[in-house]
Structure 1
C-alpha cells in the first residue's frame, strides 16, 4: 500500500550491505528545476513545476552501483487514488507532451547515481502529486515513496490551453505580484495598488487547499482530479470558492453597515493576508470583501495555478436582475433618486479576465474570459460567473457559456430613466451610451490604464433618441410604461461638474437649459444631491435647491450652482460618491426633463517617503517618513495617522493628535524590513473623530530585491 510522505528535497533512505541496488536519497534539484519552470519563489515546501515540461530528479544508490542491465527503474505517479506507472528509459529524444515519460540521458548515469528527466502531459491536472520509485530485478522489487511535487498550468508551452505567446504578457499576467485597481467614477478615476502576493510563504499551499475543500472535490475526488486539467473548469471552481456563499470559500461579502467584526473592505491592500487568514482558520470565511477584493484574490489564485489573469474595472456596470438588458432608474420630480428597482448601476465593478483556449466552444472563443467571483447572481445554482468569452460579449453570442447574458448586460445594457410625480410618469429618458462607459485594466509593464472598452463593445450598437412623455400612468414599480404617444422634446438640460471636487471645498455645478420651442417659457429648476454607495442606489439627500427660471425662444441658458462645503462636510469623506440631479419643469406645459451626474470627492494626500528610494534590499532595515497636512479650513479633532504593510511591517503603527490645526502636520516614522523579494505595498490612512470615515488613504509601491 502506498504511503504518502512529507516532501524533502533530499530524502534520506536506509542502506544495507545487501547486493541489491538500493535507493539512498533523492535530489529534487529544486533551485534548478524551479528556475527552468518559472516557478522560483512560489514555495519552500514543495517542488513546483509546470506540466508538459521536463524536470530532473537525481537518484543516488547505495549497496552497489545502478546497473541498467540488471536493474529496471519504474516511477509511479499518484494523484489521489489513481496512479500511472512510467518505465524509466534510456533516451535523449524530446519528450512527448501527450503522455508521462521518464528518461535517462547517456550523460546522466554515474557510478552511484542517475538523473531522470520526468515529463507530464500538457493536459495534466493541476494538483500535488506523489511519486514512488520501484527498483525491479530478477530477485524481486523494492519500492520507495520518494516525495511529491506540485504541477501547474504552463502558459510558456504551446500545447497547453493557457499558452500565451509574448514574454511581456507572461511577466505581467503570471509572474508580476503587483497590480493596480481602478475605482471611483468614470469622470474621476482613482487607482490603488494591490499586492497579489503569490510569492509570500504559504500562498501556494492555500491555493491548493482551496481546491481540496471545494464541493466538487469533496463530492468526487477522482472526478475532480481528472477535470482539473481544464482551465475553464478550474476557473469556475475557484470563482465559486473565492466567495463563501455556497461552500468553505475565502471571503464573506458586505456592502453596508458596521464592519467591526472584521476588516473593512477598503482596508485590504493585498491577497496574501486574506489567504493566510482563511487557511489558518480552518477555512472560516474572512470578513469582509467587496468586488475589487474578490477579484484581486481570484487573480492571485489563478496566477499561482499558472493561468494568465488580470483585474478589469467596468465603469457604470449594470446589474440586470430580470435579464431584459434594460435598467430602470426612478427620480422624483424634485431630482431625488428613488430606490424602486432591483436593477442598479454600479459606478464601478471589478472582475477578472483569464486567458485560455476554450476547447468546449472552439477557436473563435479563445482568449480572454470574464470570471467574476463577486456573489451577485447564481450560475447553475452556485454564486459564480464565467468563464465568459470576451469575444462572445462583443459579438453578442449570448448563448456561449458561461453567463454571457449577464456579462453582456453589465457592459452594454440600456438605461431608462423615469421621472415620477404622485405615482405618474411625467418624464422619460433613454440612454444607450452610459453603461460600460469605460473598461480599464493595468497596462503591461506600466501603471497607466489600458482601455478595453472597444474590446467589449461593438460600435454598431443601435442608438435611440431620448424622448419625453406627458402623464403616462406607471402600471407597476419596476416596469417601464409603454408610451402610446411620445412628443418631441421642447426642452433639453445637461448637468456638469466644474473641476474635480475636493474635500473641504465648495462643489460647483453647471446646468445648461436649451429652449427648442418658439415661445418663451417659465421653468422651475430643482437640484438634489445624495450620498451613494458605488454599487447601489443613493439613500438620503444632503442638499437641495430650487428656483424659477425664464428662458427665451431658442435660447441656451447656463446656470451656475454651488454646494457649500458646510452642507456636506459632516456627511462625506474622501472617495465618497455623490449623485446630483437637476429636474427642469415647464410651469405651464408640465414638460419635465432631467439630467444627473455622479462624481467622487477627492481627499488630501498623505506623503510617504522611503529613505534611499522605493527600491530596497531584503532583510535590511529602511526608514520611512509618513505625514499628512491638514489642508481644510477647520481644526480636526482626534486625528490618527496609521501605517501598515504586509511583508514590511509587523501590524499597524499609529500617530495621534488631539487637535490638528489648519495647515499643520501629523507625522509618523517607521522602520520597514522585507522578509521576501517582490513587490510590497505600504499603506497609510488618516482619519479624525468628526469624519464619517477615513479622510485620506495613500499607498507606496516598494520593490524588494533579494539580498
Structure 2
C-alpha cells in the first residue's frame, strides 16, 4: 500500500462557531465550542484515499497533562458522558474526510489541544495538531448550566451589554455597562484567569478535573475578581482619592479592565467597587458559558456580628454618628449564576448568589457563594456556601438610637428597610425587573412609590418624613414633616432637620444643610411642615453621592426625642443620543450619532465627553463651558465592525463638580 498521511486539518471555524452559538468569538485564534455537542473538522489526506478496511484514525484530546485517546468510528451514536469521535459514512469524501468530535456534557472548561494520528496496518503515520476552547453549554439539556428558554440564553449568556442599577428604590439609576466578552483578547484572558488562580497553581491536575463543575468554577472566579488573596483582577477602594488608578465611577465596561490586567502580567487593576466587581464577574461567567446576571440589593446590610441587627446612632441634632462596625449600603451589587446543585438536596437548582466584592472570608478566601436564592428565601442557613451572610444582607433589622454623649435619648427600629427592593435587568428590555419576591416572602413593591419614613415615641408623638417626589438635579428637593400629638396634653417641641452627604457604602459626611425651630401642638393635633433644599445648597452632592435626611423631635417637657430618617439620591440629567438613519446601520459603514446636553445647574459647567461602544468606537472630546440653561450638540462618527445589538455609551465627566452625566443608546446593526 502507498503511504497515507494527514497533510492538513481544517477546523471548519465558521460552521462550528455558528452551530455552537459562539460566532461572536470569531476574533479568537482558536476554535470556540461548547461541551455536550459535536463539532466538525475536515482532513486533507495525501498519498491515497482513506480505506476503512486497512486504515484507522485516532484522536488524542489533552487538557494540560490530562488526556483521552479515542478511535474514530463510523457510529454517529454519541454519549453525554464520554468523549466520542466519528466519521459520517454518508457522503464520505475519502481524500478529505470529515470527523465529528463530541465532548461530554460534563467536560472540563479550558483550552484543549488535540493530536490526530493515522494508522495503516498498525503503523502510525505523521501527526497533526489543533486547538479548541471548550465552554459550558446552556443549550444542552445534560449540561448542569442548561437554562430552558432561548430568550434567557440570549440575555444571560450572549448579550454583551446591560444595565447596572444604583441609587435608591424610589430613584433608580440605570448605569449602562459593556460586558465586552467578544472584544479581542477577552476570551483568552478569562480562560487565563482560571490558570492564574491559586487552585491551579497548587494542583493543576485537580483543578482541571474540578473545572467540569460550575459550583467550583464560580467560587474560583468569585475569588479571582478581587485581589485580596491572589493575583486577582481588581483592587477595591472605597475612600480617599483614586489618583494612582481609575475612579470606579469612570469605568464603562469590562474590556478595558481585563485587558489592563492581562497586559500588566496579572497585576490588580485599580480600582473597583461593588458594581465593577460584579460586572466584570458577569463578563467572565458569560464567556465561560455559565448564565449570569447582575443583581442590585437596595439597603444591603453588612452584619459583622451575625446577630441580624444593624445598629445606627444619631446625635440629638439629627446627625448620623460613626459608632457602629455594622453598616447598610444604600445598594450593593452582586451576580446570580444559573446552575443545578447536584451537591445539595433537591430544590436548590436555579439562580445562585455569587459576590466577588471582598467583604468577608468564605473558606478562608475572599469570595461568596454560590448560595441558592431559594435557600435564602426559605432561610436554609445550614447550607453551603455563605447563605447566612446573604440572608442577613436582605433581611436584617435596623435599630436606631439617639444619643447625648453615652446617654440614650430615643430608640426606634425598622424591619422593612433592609432588602427593600432587589432587581436586575429585564430580559430583552432596557429596564429593571423586580426580583425581591425571589429572595423574600413579601408583597411585590413598586420602587417608585412615595418615599417616607415614620417613627414614634413612648410619649405619644409620631413623626413622618416624606419626600414630595423623586429629587431631580436643578430643582428644589421638597419634603414634608408630619407631626402628630397622640396625647391629651399640649406639647412644645423642638424640631431639628439635618442633611448630610454620604457615599453609598459609608457613614454620612459633614452636614451640608440644617434648620431648627419649635412648634406647639394642641392635644391630638397634627401639623405638617413643608421644607425645601435649594439646588445651590445641594449641587455638590449630585451624582453618585446620596443624602441622609433626618428629623429629630425633642419634647421640651420630658426631654424625650423621636427620630425619623431617610436616604435619597438626586438624579443627574441625562445625555441624549440620537442616530441618523437608525434603521439602516450596517457593518463597516460610517454612521453619525448626535449627543446633546443641557446644563440644569445654577453655575457654568465644563468637562470631558467620552463616547464608547464595543465594536463601534472609542473617543474623547473636551466639552466647552456651558452657562446655566445652555445646551450643546456634539456629532460623533462611528463604524460598526459586526452585526447585532450594540450599546453606544456617552459620559460627561464634569471638571468643576464631583459628577458624571451619562447616557446610552441601543443600536441594531443589521447583520450582512
Cα distance in 1 for partners of 2:133, 2:615 equals 28
Secondary structure, aligned partner of 2:97: strand
Q: Are 1:275 and 2:258 counterparts?
A: yes
Q: State the partner residue of 1:697.
A: 662
* Cα contact 1:273–1:646 (8 A) shared by 2: no
Q: Is the CA contact 2:352–2:372 (under 8 Å) kept in the aligned structure 1?
A: yes
Flag the 1:309–1:647 CA change in 2: closer, same or farther, 3 A: closer
* Alpha-carbon offset, residue 509 of structure 1: 1.8
Aligned to 2:366: 383
- Cα offset, 1:86, TM superposition: 0.7
Hey, what's the Cα distance between the residues in 2 that align with 1:557 and 1:419? 23
Matched positions, count = 662
Q: Which residue does 2:51 correspond to in 1?
A: 67
Q: Deviations over 1:380-420 (max 9, x none)?
A: 11111000000000000011111111100011111111111
CA contact (8 A) 2:247 2:271 kept: yes
Residue 668 of structure 1: SS of its match in structure 2?
A: strand
Contact 1:200 1:676 in 2 (8 A): no
Which residue in 2 is equivalent to 1:643?
610
Look up the match of 1:472: none
Task: State how 1:116-135 maps to structure 2 within 5 Å.
Answer: 116-135=99-118
Measure how far apart 1:428 and its partner are.
Answer: 1.0
Q: CA deviation at 1:665?
A: 2.1
Report the counterpart of residue 543 of structure 1 in structure 2: 513
Asked if residue 653 in structure 1 is aligned to residue 620 in structure 2, the reply is: yes
Deviation of the 1:624 alpha carbon = 2.0
Query: Partners in 2 of 1:42 and 1:433 — Cα distance?
Result: 45
Rate the CA distance shift 1:65–1:194 in 2: closer, same or farther, 3 A: same
Q: 1:343 to 1:284 in 2, by over 3 A?
A: same
Supply the distance in 2 between the matched residues of 1:294 and 1:108 (Cα, whole angstroms).
51
For residue 217 of structure 2, give the secondary structure of its aligned residue in structure 1: helix
Report if aligned partners of 2:503, 2:544 keep a CA contact under 8 Å in 1.
no
Q: Does 1:596 align with 2:565?
A: yes
Distance in 2, Cα, partners of 1:263 & 1:615 = 37
TM-score by length of 2: 0.95
| Contact kept in structure 2, 1:388 and 1:402, CA below 8 Å | yes
Stretches of structure 2 that go unaligned for 5 or more consecutive residues are: 444-453
Structure 2 counterpart of 1:677? 643
Please say if 1:53 is aligned against 2:23: no
Does residue 66 of structure 2 align to residue 82 of structure 1? yes
Indicate the SS of the match to 2:45.
Answer: strand
What does residue 396 of structure 1 align with? Answer: 379
- 1:160-309 equivalence runs, <5 A: 160-309=143-292
Distance 1:525 1:614 in 2: 58
Where does structure 1 lack aligned partners over 5 or more consecutive residues? 1-17, 461-465, 470-487
CA drift at 1:651: 4.5
Contact 2:455 2:464 in 1 (8 A): no
* Deviation for aligned residue 1:88: 1.1
Alpha-carbon RMSD across the aligned residues, in angstroms, is: 2.0
Aligned residue for 1:617, secondary structure, equals coil
Contact 2:497 2:514 in 1 (8 A): yes
Write out aligned runs for 1:134-153 (5 A): 134-138=117-121, 140-153=123-136
Structure-2 change in CA distance of 1:114 and 1:689 (3 Å): closer
Measured in 2, the distance between the counterparts of 1:334 and 1:615 equals 60
Task: Please give the alpha-carbon distance, in whole angstroms, between the structure 2 residues aligned to 1:124 and 1:556.
Answer: 69
Contact 1:644 1:683 in 2 (8 A): yes
1:628 aligns with 2:611: no
Given the alignment of the two structures, is residue 518 of structure 1 paired with residue 488 of structure 2, yes or no? yes
Instruction: Tell me the SS of whatever aligns to 1:247.
Output: coil
Give the Cα separation in 2 of the matches to 1:695 and 1:153. 38
Cα distance, 1:330–1:108 mapped onto 2, change above 3 Å: farther
Q: 1:468 to 1:445 in 2, by over 3 A?
A: closer
Superposed, 1:212-611 pairs within 5 Å as: 212-459=195-442, 488-569=458-539, 571-611=540-580
Q: Secondary structure at the residue paired with 1:135?
A: strand
Question: Does the 8 Å contact 2:6/2:126 carry over to 1?
Answer: no
With 257-266 and 165-174 compared, the bigger mean Cα shift is at 257-266
Deviates more, 1:676-685 or 1:304-313: 676-685
User: What SS does the corresponding residue of 1:376 show, helix, strand or coil?
Assistant: coil
Give, in angstroms, the shift of residue 205 of structure 1. Answer: 0.8
Question: Contact 1:501 / 1:600 at 8 angstroms: preserved in 2?
Answer: yes
| Structure 1 range deviating more: 232-241 or 358-367 | 358-367
Q: Per-residue displacement from partner, 1:31-61 (whole Å, max 9, x unpaired)?
A: 1112111111124311111111111111221
Superposition TM-score, scaled by structure 1 size? 0.90
SS in 2 for 1:25: strand
Aligned to 1:11: none
Provide Cα deviations, 1:567-604, integer angstroms capped at 9, x if missing partner: 233x3233431000001111111221111111111223
User: Which range moves more in the overlay, 249-258 or 140-149?
Assistant: 140-149
Q: CA deviation at 1:669?
A: 2.2
Write the distance in 2 (CA, Å) between the matches of 1:655 and 1:356: 46
Equivalent position SS for 1:579: strand
Partners in 2 of 1:367 and 1:306 — Cα distance? 15
Alpha-carbon distance between aligned partners in 1 of 2:654 and 2:153, rounded to the nearest angstrom: 43
Cα deviation digits, residues 220-259 of structure 1 (max 9, x gap):
1110000000000000001111111111111111122222
